[in-house]
Amino acid sequence: MNRLADRTHNKINVGLFIPYGGPMGLWAPSSERCAQLAAAELNDYQGILGKEVHLHLVDSSGSPLEVARKASDLLVNNRLDAIVGMHASDVRQALVQVVAGRIPYIYTPMYEGKESHACVYTTGDTPEYQVKPIIGWLEENFDAHRWYFIGNDYVWPRVSNSFAKDCLHRNPANQIVGEEYVSLSTEDYAEHLDNIENLQPDVVVVNLLGDCSIQFNRQFGERGLDRDIIRYCGAIEENMLYAIGAEYTKNMYSAMSYYADLETQAARGFCKYYYASFGQEAPALNQFAVSCYEGIMLLSELSKGVRSMDAGKMEAKSDGYTPFSGPRGELYSSRHHTTSAMHIVKANGLFFEHVESFAF
């Protein structure tokens, strides 16, 4: 299908790049549904620029090179007008080289920050805003000074941990008693839990993704370490609580810009909308999933601002403010990035209990 054919059929083809396997695969079902909601909502009105929004689903769970090849084939055949991606950062780094500013690319999950390629727009939380509030809050409320870090051997955990350590080093009473990185295929954490048990930190900072975090936290709880040691989990969400089990979520905290149980008008409204559309048995809403909805809504507003899907025209206006809305409320994109309020939560069985919020 060529570009002329697309125009004839009055469609805007959006490549939805999400992982259907690997550690992040558990977020695919809810992410796909949230993207479908966004497309349906736009199409019920006037689509994007008067054209129907069509989602082209692309599995991004392979190697960065494999995913980049898929994108290249689609671009060569003029089958995409834009990309909305909820996937790992190494995949983003490969995709930006292929996309190279030819079409707008909205990258939606939390990530390490500092993305600066032309025509790439990010909407997710970054360590600058996510980490600092909760590190300070844990220090203040628990007199926490002994810290242990564990994460996947991957750019986002390393940058997040580096930012956290910078925050901790401002207080000479703080000690980093351990720091370890594991592969994305790790399932057995016995050795790492032995280290934690021996070192007895006040806080374990867990920057493990998806299934890795589930396995670690379940084994942590089975050891009984959750009775006395606080966990700060940087990327934990509602599906993962169910998988870990209510009995293993004691003393677990997190901080992100969205949780399904937030008592905000936007969060409550989107919850109602989502479950009315897909039923009460639908995959649990979470930060990663709703980012796909918001990514498509941002794409719509970017195109509206220049009355075109032309990436160059969007780039020329990227220094301005582009307002859009979603489950996090009223947002705006400026200089390619989106900033939102941050919410500290505590796991309470299979749900998150709001503790404190920070606006930026």
- pLDDT(199) > 50: yes
pLDDT attached to residue 8: 42
Q: What domain range includes position 184? A: 127-256
Residues 252 and 135 in one domain: yes
Residue after which a domain boundary falls, among 231, 256, 281: 256
Q: What is the arithmetic mean of pLDDT over 55-68?
A: 97
Give percent above pLDDT 90 in the chain. Answer: 92
Structural domain includes residue 352: no
pLDDT attached to residue 360: 81
Give percent above pLDDT 70 in the chain. Answer: 98
Q: What is the arithmetic mean of pLDDT over 13-19?
A: 98
Residues 69 and 35 in one domain: yes
CATH of the domain at 297: 3.40.50.2300
Structural domain includes residue 359: no
Q: What is the arithmetic mean of pLDDT over 90-119?
A: 95
Residues 167 and 69 in one domain: no
Q: What is the arithmetic mean of pLDDT over 326-343?
A: 94
Residues 138 and 198 in one domain: yes
Structural domain includes residue 354: no
Which band of pLDDT confidence, cut at 50, 70 and 90, is reported for residue 1? Answer: very low
Q: What is the arithmetic mean of pLDDT over 57-86?
A: 96
Strand order through the sheet with 230-233: 175-182, 146-152, 203-207, 230-233, 252-256, 342-348, 351-358
206 phi and psi angles, rounded to 5 deg: -105, 105
Structural domain includes residue 239: yes
pLDDT attached to residue 9: 62
Q: Could you tell me which of 36, 142, 19 has the C-alpha nearest to residue 87?
A: 19
Residue after which a domain boundary falls, among 256, 279, 296: 256
Domain count, the chain: 2
- pLDDT(4) > 50: no
Structural domain includes residue 87: yes
CA distances from 191 to 139, 143, 216, 220 (A): 27, 27, 11, 11
Structural domain includes residue 358: no
- CB of 124 within 8 A of CB of 31? no
pLDDT in tens, 119-158: 999 999 999 999 999 999 999 999 999 999 999 998 999 9
Rounded Cα–Cα distance for residues 146 and 175 (Å): 5
Categorise residue 213: left if φ over 0, alpha if ψ from -120 to 50, beta otherwise: alpha
* Mean confidence (pLDDT) of the chain: 94
pTM: 0.93
- pLDDT(2) > 50: no
Which band of pLDDT confidence, cut at 50, 70 and 90, is reported for residue 323? Answer: very high
Q: What is the arithmetic mean of pLDDT over 87-105?
A: 95
- pLDDT(317) > 90: no
- CB of 15 within 8 A of CB of 82? yes
Structural domain includes residue 349: no
Residue after which a domain boundary falls, among 256, 287, 319: 256
Residues 232 and 318 in one domain: no
Residue type, 3: R
Structural domain includes residue 356: no
Rounded Cα–Cα distance for residues 225 and 200 (Å): 9
Residues 136 and 245 in one domain: yes
Higher local confidence (pLDDT), 308 or 317: 308
Residues 172 and 207 in one domain: yes
